Structure 1
Amino acid sequence: MRNYFFGLDVGTQGARVVLVDQQGTLIAADDRKFKLDDTFREEQSPEIWWEACAEMMQQLIQQLPSDIDKKKIKAISVTSTSGTVIPLDAYNKPLHAAIMYSDARSAEQGKRCKEIAGRHVKDGYTGFNASSGISKMSWFQETYPEKAKDIALWIHASDYLVGKLSGNYRTTDYTNVLKSGYDLEQLAWPDYISSEIGIDRSHLQDVVPSGTVVGKLDPVLADTWGIPQLDVVVGMTDGCATQMASGAVKPGTWNTTIGTTLVIKGVTRKNVVDPLGRLYSHRHPEGYWMPGGASNTGADWISIGFADGLDALNQAAEGLIPTGELAWPLVQEGERYPIMAPQARGFAPSDLTREKLYAANMEGVAFIEKLAYEIIHELSGEELEAVYSAGGGSNSDVWLKIRASVLQVPIYKCKEASGAFGAAIMAASNTYYSSLIEAAEAMTQIEKVVQPDGELQEAYASQYENFKLKLKNLNYIA
């Protein structure tokens, strides 16, 4: 008997919904673009999100094939951006537009929150900045004191959708509260948030493990959509949802997503504390930790300089690796992870052919990825066992081979690794399955396994050491 689960993903410029069964088979999907003005990176109306989501849900359900038993749709969960916050009044109505994670107006408040947290927090997250929820709460209260008098609750982006679905706005999950100042070690809101930053404790949400059922679908919505009052599962942040979709959900497993940037997330048994702030840890719903970090090095260099003829470039790279060359395709100025070097610049030999530069750049990204995992090992003591890979960078077979050989572990390419799919896994994790790990193992699918190449491993071990030596000579690493 098939059972079904909805995953809803609300991003910066649009939303997507998927319906999958308990084996992770995609049944249906839809997406919408938001109608936004020029200020959408600073503020957005959460009602625009909800209108798009409600329209998608209704149309998708109406168009389901007749052999899909709607009574077997069991649960829904939501993912959205990290650091976006909304002030609600006593009637759960927004007092102001959603203050987006990408809004830089709270930079000064971010510095102050970081300094205050640093005095109180020993081993937890203190890397607050303009993109943090706590910074935006402080900024709003200082900028709009008249509106601030009417605040009853601060919520995050996914919480708004969960509230519209279930009526429960007060409960959020471990992932959403990290950048709002919640102590994931003590599982409590620390006193300094109220005493020094000035956020009223009563305005902060109740926090539960990701995957917790927090209500039932509103009966009016259930009747309108023609589905049962299914379980509504607490939302989570988009980066964590993508990690869920990749299958990297148990200790020793890691996910690397190579898109515009390179994002690494994994699972460890102990909290990974980085004194330099290069990476930070979310709390796993089953008591583990999910450390991760984002690099400015990714695949943007491909779209800028190598967008044409990718098939031919990848074919040529097969015969050129290992190149023995040292290249780092860092497009923008400065790096944040695994290197904290605002002065960093990319580099490459000037006499390479286009094909060889392409191959050397792929190797350079793999070396940055390896350096990131080495730092994680130094901080946690835990060994890398496998990497689950997602993002556009995973579409190149030769790049997968390079990365597996540099990292010296198998790489698993995920078939479906979207935020919406991750939300669907969360929806199933405690409604049909008994845990997140069980749900992910049953629902994620591996499209391809790439093993390290023995000869390449040996060559890349030497080339990697030379790469690190160049970084040291440039004073990018110690």
Structure 2
Amino acid sequence: MGKYLLAHDLGTTGDKAVLFSEDGTLVRAVTAEYKTHYLGHGFVEQDPDDWWRAVCGSSAELLKSVNPKDVAAVSFSGQMMGCLCVDRHGKPLRPSIIWADTRSVREADALGKAYGKTAFYRTSGHRISSSHTVTKLMWIKENEPEIYRQAYKILCAKDYIVLKLTGRFVTDYSDASGTLAYNICGHMWAEDIMQAAGVDREKFPDILAAATVVGEVGEKAARESGLPRGLPVVLGGGDGPCGLVGTGAIRDGTGYTYIGTSAWSKFCRTRPVRDPGMRVVTWNHVIPEFVAPTGTMQAAGASIAWMKENLCAEERALAEKTGESVYKFINENAAKSKRGAGGLLFLPHLQGERSPFWNVDAKGAFVGLTMRHGANDMKRAVFEGIAMNMGVIFHILQENKIGLQDSMVLIGGGANSPVLRQAMADIYEMDMLIPDKLDEATSMGAAIIAGRGVGLYQDFDVLDRFLSIKEVVHPVKENTEFFRELRKVFEECYFALEKVNEKLGRFE
């Protein structure tokens, strides 16, 4: 048995590949970037062969650090809710329509009328949304019928890489739940939803547990990727559910919050959430017997990236001059603005919104801008707007008695921001636990799944080998009271602009 575990996290901007030793030591991590194509009108696509080239390049780079024969297994976490059509030979028929794509609004409306929105929520655990696989497949059937006819299977990102390595068309329970063609209580494909959507059951792959050894790296894949021929390939899961394992959320009531390009709070539970307003949803955990009630916002780190490109020329220049991170200077300047940014709010709905508003027409806005506000107030407002949007989501989950803990593990690139993580503690009204590895939780989860799959670990409860808490951010009492009131105004702003934003969409 090998001594190392290789994991790939196929995200929105690139493949984060990590190599861990059996004892949990991070040997090396590399990132191979790829392009996202924003085509307008909600169309967002990626080339699946860019994923494959990234996996090949990052694998070859990591294997320079060890003897490839000492690697025990490879596994994956990946972006969810995509729609990649492949033929029976595994060849992509078109670019993958990824999670951020919202072109299938009309199809989502049609499915809601055919199946019933409340019934759909109870069956799938989700609201009907254009962000998910089944409505995207409906769009392809309607607008690209020849592609639909030729499609043998519909795959998510990590499933395509598993196919390239092993030749098998499969998915796991967590990614299956993200398609919305899934029965969250029955842990199986929902054929009644597929029938209402007018899509064919046989186009969906078989569902296996995340820790299943799907097969071994084949000869052709070994030549292209540099991975050893015969290396066990463990299926893995969706990035958010893998993060549950990578943060230790493997017991009822435990959870974590991730601030990346998008952001979410996710919990491990034994039964789905049944929120009367359908504001939060339920995925399957990568551990099949659990589910994962979740609230997700669209543009968290994406809002920070927008801010960096459009409001932070000074910080970018300093970073280029000094070689230090641009985000160091952005945070320093944001911290010069006082709590609440002097009454300035930022609505971080730059790509529409999922939880809790579920509105593709939602738009970003600065509200309360006056002559006394400066750029640093705007920067602080961006960080606090993300935290308040996540706070709205979190408190809805709490209303539904989802989380049982008194602290929250905070991961993702956003957790590097002192301004943001303090706002998160103040708005969640609980300690934020900051791990020593912020960006590896999803790939770490995939590595643990790999180890479980090949028998290196007897169960999933081995996180203490991989991770430790480096900092605890405590809520400040006067801040919690302040943000409790400001959060109400934040929600009022969204609803006040709801119709305006819908009208503005006509002028895009």
Would the TM-score normalized by the shorter structure come out above 0.5? yes
Other-structure match for 1:258: 259
For residue 189 of structure 2, give the secondary structure of its aligned residue in structure 1: coil
Give the stretch that moved more between structures: 338-347 or 248-257.
Answer: 338-347
1:448 aligns with 2:471: yes
- Deviation per CA, 1:117-163, whole angstroms, max 9, x where unpaired? 43643623342333221112222223343444443322222111101
For residue 161 of structure 1, give the secondary structure of its aligned residue in structure 2: helix
1:347 aligns with 2:367: yes
For the 8 Å contact 1:114–1:129, the answer to whether it is kept is no
Other-structure match for 2:404: 383
CA distance in structure 1 between the aligned counterparts of 2:332 and 2:35, rounded to whole angstroms: 41
Counterpart amino acid of 2:346?
Answer: P
CA distance in structure 1 between the aligned counterparts of 2:386 and 2:401, rounded to whole angstroms: 23
Instruction: Map residues 18-417 of structure 1 onto 2, 5 A cutoff.
Output: 18-34=18-34, 42-61=44-63, 63-64=64-65, 68-118=66-116, 120-121=119-120, 123=122, 124-219=124-219, 221-222=221-222, 225=226, 227=228, 229-284=230-285, 285-295=287-297, 298=300, 300=303, 302-303=307-308, 304-305=310-311, 308=314, 326-332=343-349, 336-339=354-357, 342=362, 345-348=365-368, 350=370, 351=372, 362-363=383-384, 365-380=386-401, 382-414=403-435, 415-417=437-439
Change in 2 beyond 3 A, CA 1:449/1:313: same
CA distance in structure 2 between the aligned counterparts of 1:409 and 1:181, rounded to whole angstroms: 36
From 457, 462, 468, the equivalent of 2:481 is 462
- Deviation per CA, 1:78-125, whole angstroms, max 9, x where unpaired? 233222222333333334443333444433222222333436436233
For the 8 Å contact 2:18–2:26, the answer to whether it is kept is yes
CA distance in structure 1 between the aligned counterparts of 2:492 and 2:328, rounded to whole angstroms: 35
Change in 2 beyond 3 A, CA 1:384/1:57: same
CA distance in structure 2 between the aligned counterparts of 1:210 and 1:227, rounded to whole angstroms: 21
Counterpart amino acid of 1:87?
Answer: C
For the 8 Å contact 1:12–1:81, the answer to whether it is kept is yes
For residue 179 of structure 2, give the secondary structure of its aligned residue in structure 1: helix
For residue 47 of structure 1, give the secondary structure of its aligned residue in structure 2: helix
Other-structure match for 1:434: 458
Unaligned runs of 5+ in 2: 316-326, 497-508
Q: How many angstroms does 1:197 deviate by?
A: 2.2
Q: How many angstroms does 1:229 deviate by?
A: 2.2
For residue 442 of structure 1, give the secondary structure of its aligned residue in structure 2: helix
For the 8 Å contact 2:210–2:449, the answer to whether it is kept is yes
Q: How many angstroms does 1:311 deviate by?
A: 5.2
- Deviation per CA, 1:151-178, whole angstroms, max 9, x where unpaired? 3322222111101112211343333442
For the 8 Å contact 1:254–1:386, the answer to whether it is kept is no
- Deviation per CA, 1:338-366, whole angstroms, max 9, x where unpaired? 45674885434634566666556655544
Other-structure match for 2:319: none
Q: How many angstroms does 1:220 deviate by?
A: 5.1
Q: CA RMSD in A?
A: 3.7
Query: Structure 2 length as normaliser, TM-score?
Result: 0.78
Identity value in percent: 24
Paired residues in the alignment total 468
Change in 2 beyond 3 A, CA 1:37/1:441: same
For the 8 Å contact 1:43–1:100, the answer to whether it is kept is yes
Counterpart amino acid of 2:104?
Answer: S
CA distance in structure 2 between the aligned counterparts of 1:256 and 1:286, rounded to whole angstroms: 21
Counterpart amino acid of 1:56?
Answer: S
Counterpart amino acid of 1:445?
Answer: S
Counterpart amino acid of 2:274?
Answer: V
For residue 279 of structure 2, give the secondary structure of its aligned residue in structure 1: coil
From 425, 436, 451, the equivalent of 2:448 is 425
For residue 435 of structure 1, give the secondary structure of its aligned residue in structure 2: coil
Query: Structure 1 length as normaliser, TM-score?
Result: 0.82
- Deviation per CA, 1:7-31, whole angstroms, max 9, x where unpaired? 1233445333221123332223333
